[in-house]
Amino acid sequence: MAQRLLEARARNGYPLGLYLRWSARSLIASLALFGLGLALLAYYEAWPAFCVVAGLYAGMQLRDIAYLRISRRSWPFLSVVLDWDKVRAVAGPMDSNAEPATRREGR
């Protein structure tokens, strides 16, 4: 998380491209799963269920967009409040070509 904060700081916040890059795997997986479900529901002509599942997917995407907008709005305050020296210390040595760490400690 600290490495991602440093990367966001280098880009002056959370631009859409950075969000898409960080979330690409989960976005593709959710699109594939919901797409498969919607295709099956359409095949069996279960239109009420199709509309419910399509609405759930649309709501999920709108929630993520709202989270991104909130993050972008709060970035100026967050960038001033954070102690960037401590964030760098937690991030450890960061290779400029390395992907941000995604492994969760303590699990």
Q: Tell me the pLDDT band of 105, cut-offs 50, 70 and 90.
A: very low
Give the Cα separation of 70 and 103 in Å (integer).
25
Residue 65 burial (CB count, 10 A) = 12
Q: With b meaning 16 or more CB within 10 Å and e meaning fewer, what string describes 70-101?
A: eeeeebeeeeeeeeeeeebeebeeeeeeeebe
Query: The whole model's pTM is what?
Result: 0.71
Q: Tell me the pLDDT band of 50, cut-offs 50, 70 and 90.
A: very high
Query: pLDDT at residue 97 above 80?
Result: no
Q: Tell me the pLDDT band of 73, cut-offs 50, 70 and 90.
A: very high
